[in-house]
Structure 1
Amino acid sequence: MVSRVVFGRGSFNQLGDIIEPKRLNVKAPFIYLVDDVFKGNAELTSRISLAYEDHILFISADTEPTTSQVDDLVEQIILNYKDRPSGIIGIGGGTLLDLAKAVAIMLTNEGVSKDYQGWDLVKSPAIYHVGVPTISGTGAEVSRTTVLTGPERKLGINSDYTPFDQVILDPELTKDVPKDQWFYTGMDCFIHCVESLKGTYLNAFSQSYGEKAFDLCKEIFIEDKGTKEELQDKLMMASWHGGMSIAYSQVGVAHALSYGLGYLLGTKHGIGNCIVFDQLEEFYPEGVALFKEMKKIHNITLPKGICAHLADDEFNTMIDVALGLEPLWENAVGKNWRQTITREKLRTLYEKM
């Protein structure tokens, strides 16, 4: 679990005070990885207290994070600073938070990041790392994984060393999120809940978090309970609880298939989950019905035909990526999942998208 968390409007202003006791020395900087949508946005950047050799790196979140991107960032930090950084601070959505977690891990572990894609492969604790989400729904601020697209697969670095040491949850930072992005990342949270609550890995701990997040999603996306600020607060809490639920259980069919889309087509995670989940009545009938109702309420139109012109080898690539996520399928279908989850079945599902 994340050991320290601060929640509240304006709590981002506490960042400097929170991390300063973790400074190793004046030559060991804090490195800020910040979504480049905030470049030139003094409302946010002026509140980052830089001292000594601290540095901000603005990074585009237009594409999903990759292992090569992580390796390049680690190399850049190692070459530019004689001392190991005091910490890595990720500020942004899931892409920036995953990059921050991965960079923090690779600064203390040998080799390249693709070698750690999988479960419990990390040997050494990451350096101190902090997450500040500026969009709600991904659960990246609390999860024990950092999802990366590698040369052979899209798969997370899943380990007990991955979670942030400190998270700052400030709902004010989410106020300028575009509506479509708000919906897609919100649905990422909703899908986390459905996959956790309907999975074979479910336990009382994950259920309690999943049910709370599920109820919050209904309040936000169906019932519209609260002011704009209250809904922002609720979605940030839903994201946290949804992330906690899957941290102690697992995701399922939507995420497995979405990883295939992301690897081959570069489809962003939130919208990819929505495109996939829209076709999963067979697995999650009640959840999909609610999802379709939410789409209608918020006038959301999903892209269609993104797989219409793919060749056989491209379908096979996506299917290989999806089938490689064995824990997800076991959670969704059970230990004998291979008897029903065939390549033909996945091909049919992808053809619908």
Structure 2
Amino acid sequence: MVPRVIFGQGSFDQLGEILLPKRRNSDAPFIFLVDDFFENREFAQRIPLMFNDELIFVSAEEEPKTEQVDILVSRIKERYEEQPSGIVGIGGGTLLDLAKAVAILLNNNGLAQEYQGWDLVSKPSLYHVGIPTISGTGAEVSRTTVLLGPEKKLGINSDYTTYDQVVLDPDLTKTVPKEQWFYTGMDCFIHCIESLNGTYLNAFSESYGEKALELCKDVFLEDIPEDESRDKLMMASWHGGMSIAYSQVGIAHAMSYGLSYLLGIKHGIGNCLVFQHLDEFYPKGVELFQKMLEKHKIDLPKEVCAHLTQNDFDILVNVALGMEALWENALGKEWKKIMTPERLQAIYQKI
């Protein structure tokens, strides 16, 4: 679990105070990895840079890649003789996952792709802080950093991945465009549905999942003030991330990994594209999802898989079926008898 977290509107302004005791000396900088959306914006001026701290703007247009992590790590090692004091990730799931991965690789030898899997990290990460500027992914609380590698999309899942400190400031989400707000929020909603309906469910994950689901319903189905909505969605993201940390996600996420790997579709919208066709597995969840789509007038892309070749479908199916823990959570230990490659392809063909 994340050992330290602060929450509240305007809490970002405490960042300098938080980092100061963690600075080893003036030659050990903090490296800030920030969504390039904020480049040349007023927000960037609020980042508390000191000494030789470095601000690196990173595009979040594509899913985070293992190669991208390796390039950032090499850049930092070549530029600074002394190990940095820490890494600060500011942005959505892409930036938060990148920052976690960079912090791991700065203290562990090798390439990022070598750590894709469960508990492969042997040494603690460099001190790292996560600051989400959009709510829904749960990346700020997760022990996983999901990366697109040369052969697979899979997380670095370890006890050392989790952030040392998180700052939850709902005000930072004011600039999120509506569709992105919806798709990322649905990532959280789908986390909850898959966790609460999974075979891995336990009392710990259930308590967090139920609260996150309640908050998602308030945000996406009720008419509440914008500042209250931002607060609640940020808390829903946190609770949803906690829920899956102690259980697992399911079918939509497994299939979304395939869409990301082959077609480069962002995770949030990928989940939505899949989830609309999973009423056989999550009937109540899909019914709520359809109501949310209608309320917010969201039109999902159509015929995304209409022109794919059989080889393309084979890639989609193989990547998705490789997420064994997700399928077992969704369908039980005999999941391979239930979700055959042919059945899975048939669902992809509806998208």
The TM-score with structure 1 as length reference comes to 0.99
For the residues of structure 1 that align with 2:340 and 2:293, how far apart are their CA atoms?
Answer: 30
Partner SS for 2:144:
coil
Partner SS for 2:303:
coil
Aligned equivalent of 1:238: 236
Matched, 1:291 2:289: yes
Aligned equivalent of 2:273: 275
Aligned equivalent of 2:120: 121
For the residues of structure 2 that align with 1:288 and 1:329, how far apart are their CA atoms?
Answer: 18
Aligned equivalent of 1:247: 245
List per-residue Cα deviations over 1:40-65 (Å, max 9, x = no partner). 012x1111111111000000000000
Residues 154-169 of structure 1 aligned to structure 2 (within 5 Å) = 154-169=153-168
For the residues of structure 2 that align with 1:68 and 1:86, how far apart are their CA atoms?
Answer: 23
For the residues of structure 1 that align with 2:263 and 2:198, how far apart are their CA atoms?
Answer: 27
Q: Which runs of 5+ in 2 are unaligned?
A: none
For the residues of structure 1 that align with 2:181 and 2:159, how far apart are their CA atoms?
Answer: 29
Aligned equivalent of 2:183: 184
Residues 50-65 of structure 1 aligned to structure 2 (within 5 Å) = 50-65=49-64
Q: Stretches of 4+ moved more than 6 A in 1?
A: none
For the residues of structure 2 that align with 1:313 and 1:344, how far apart are their CA atoms?
Answer: 13
For the residues of structure 2 that align with 1:161 and 1:285, how far apart are their CA atoms?
Answer: 36
For the residues of structure 2 that align with 1:246 and 1:294, how far apart are their CA atoms?
Answer: 22
Aligned equivalent of 1:103: 102
Q: CA deviation at 1:227?
A: 1.0
For the residues of structure 2 that align with 1:308 and 1:190, how far apart are their CA atoms?
Answer: 27
Aligned equivalent of 1:36: 36
Aligned equivalent of 1:309: 307
Aligned equivalent of 1:138: 137
List per-residue Cα deviations over 1:284-306 (Å, max 9, x = no partner). 01000100010000000000111
Aligned equivalent of 1:319: 317
Aligned equivalent of 1:26: 26
Residues 42-81 of structure 1 aligned to structure 2 (within 5 Å) = 42=42, 44-81=43-80
Aligned equivalent of 2:209: 210
List per-residue Cα deviations over 1:20-51 (Å, max 9, x = no partner). 11111111110000000000012x11111111
Partner SS for 2:298:
coil
For the residues of structure 2 that align with 1:313 and 1:15, how far apart are their CA atoms?
Answer: 49
For the residues of structure 1 that align with 2:280 and 2:82, how far apart are their CA atoms?
Answer: 54
- In angstroms, what is the RMSD of aligned CA positions? 0.6
For these two proteins, the number of residue pairs brought into alignment is 351
For the residues of structure 2 that align with 1:269 and 1:39, how far apart are their CA atoms?
Answer: 23
For the residues of structure 1 that align with 2:264 and 2:25, how far apart are their CA atoms?
Answer: 40
The TM-score with structure 2 as length reference comes to 0.99
Partner SS for 1:146:
strand
- % identical aligned pairs: 66
* Amino acid of the structure 1 residue aligned with 2:266: K
List per-residue Cα deviations over 1:210-246 (Å, max 9, x = no partner). 000000111110122x311001000000000000000
* Amino acid of the structure 1 residue aligned with 2:27: K
List per-residue Cα deviations over 1:293-322 (Å, max 9, x = no partner). 100000000001111111111111111111
For the residues of structure 1 that align with 2:170 and 2:227, how far apart are their CA atoms?
Answer: 8
Q: CA deviation at 1:110?
A: 1.1
* Amino acid of the structure 2 residue aligned with 1:253: I
* Amino acid of the structure 2 residue aligned with 1:249: S
Q: CA deviation at 1:282?
A: 1.1
* Amino acid of the structure 2 residue aligned with 1:195: E
For the residues of structure 2 that align with 1:41 and 1:114, how far apart are their CA atoms?
Answer: 34
List per-residue Cα deviations over 1:235-282 (Å, max 9, x = no partner). 000000000000000000000000000000000000000001011011
* Amino acid of the structure 2 residue aligned with 1:290: L
For the residues of structure 1 that align with 2:270 and 2:305, how far apart are their CA atoms?
Answer: 12
Aligned equivalent of 2:16: 16
Partner SS for 1:261:
helix
Partner SS for 1:291:
helix
List per-residue Cα deviations over 1:64-95 (Å, max 9, x = no partner). 00000000000000000011110000000000
Partner SS for 2:329:
helix
For the residues of structure 2 that align with 1:278 and 1:156, how far apart are their CA atoms?
Answer: 25
* Amino acid of the structure 2 residue aligned with 1:178: P
For the residues of structure 2 that align with 1:349 and 1:38, how far apart are their CA atoms?
Answer: 38
For the residues of structure 2 that align with 1:319 and 1:116, how far apart are their CA atoms?
Answer: 23
